[in-house]
Structure 1
Amino acid sequence: MTKRVHTVLMGNENAKTCFYLPNPPILPKGWVHTDKNAVDAVITLNGNHWRKIFTIMAKLVTLADDWKSYRDQQLLKSDEQILIGSERLSVTAKQHIIVGAVSASKLSISVDDPSFVALEESGKIYLNHLDTFITPYLDYRQFPNALIEHMKPHLNSD
């Protein structure tokens, strides 16, 4: 029997950038993405795993050098959303970042689709003409800074 995860939205529902993740964090009771310490509250309750996820997200989406301040003060409040367990792409997002094979499978999207091309030699990040990316999971081993720096210009190219 397959465990069914209902779609969970975290962040700005009208965001232009959407990250698709397979598993939700535990959210504090009454958690709202607009709270001043929303990201910190998720990190405190879920630990280092979610700190890494939010850190890589911030490094990808902010144009500023101070990604840590962006992560702690603006991430999910600005122009990002996370859809967890979604079977469809966000209708409001212009850029879609499908994180890992589980999320891609859930969305019925594959790097084998001819519309996707590898963005770099290692073949870890793929992009199609609709600003849809397929990336490794948001973990430092799978998604190191070199990959972040390679993807950033494509993500922030509007």
Structure 2
Amino acid sequence: MPKDSRLGPDFPRVTLYLPHRPRGLIQLIENPNAHALLSLNSNHWRKIVTLLAKIASPVADGWRQFRDQDLFRDTALGFSPELDEGSHWHWIGGKENLQRFGHLHHDAQPLVDQSEVLIDPDKRLLLTPYPDYRQLSNTMVDRIRVALESKGFYDT
């Protein structure tokens, strides 16, 4: 996998796959941290990083501290349409992005009352709308967290 195809640790709890790369990726790879990513990029990236923290944080109401201090110790961003073998869970954000993973076979089932969010616990796969506040509301984030917790996501 090319060096600029991911940002974060070798064995993250979750990798969020996106179709585009942030500005300053090479320097971020050398020193991954949320503050630097946000200072080099637009508010669009603030939304993505915040939603990643809200879902991945081991403590639901601790997402701000998690984002600012631990995000890239525990999570990664992937930019290629290939699942990272070192990642424990895989989160593909956006239907168009999912199409890039054409070879991906899964048995993801929708969450109750959230047909836009699907989970395949056997493949440790989370499929959601693109990570933006308009598409992933706090209510939806809470439902995703409940579903992931029931699958042992926060135990690792």
| TM-score tier after normalising by the smaller chain length | 0.7 to 0.9
Q: Is the Cα contact below 8 Å between 1:19 and 1:97 reproduced in 2?
A: yes
> Which one of the candidate residues 45, 58, 66 is aligned to 1:63?
58
Residue 17 of structure 1, CA deviation: 1.1
Distance 1:63 1:16, change over 3 A: closer
Partner residue, 1:151? 144
1:3 counterpart residue number:
none
CA distance 1:104–1:114, shift in 2 (3 Å): closer
Query: What corresponds to 2:93 in structure 1?
Result: 99
Q: Is the 8 A contact 2:18 2:78 kept in 1?
A: yes
Contact 1:12–1:33 under 8 Å retained in 2: no
Q: Does 1:31 align with 2:28?
A: yes
Contact 1:117 1:127 in 2 (8 A): yes
| Identity, % of aligned positions | 27
Q: Under a length normalisation based on structure 2, what TM-score does the superposition of the two structures give?
A: 0.83
Report the structure, 1 or 2, having the larger helix content.
2
Cα distance change on mapping 1:148 and 1:109 into 2, 3 Å: farther
The TM-score with structure 1 as length reference comes to 0.83
How big is the shift at 1:33?
6.2
Note the C-alpha offset of 1:87.
Answer: 2.3
Per the TM alignment, residue 20 of structure 1 is displaced from its structure 2 partner at its CA by 0.6
Is residue 17–residue 97 contact of structure 1 (8 Å, CA) maintained in 2? yes
Residues 72, 95 of structure 1: alpha-carbon distance in 2 compared, 3 angstrom cutoff: same
Match of 1:136 in 2: 129
Compute the RMSD of aligned alpha carbons. Answer: 2.2
Unaligned runs of 5+ in 1: 1-5
Distance verdict in 2 for CA 1:139–1:33, change over 3 Å = farther
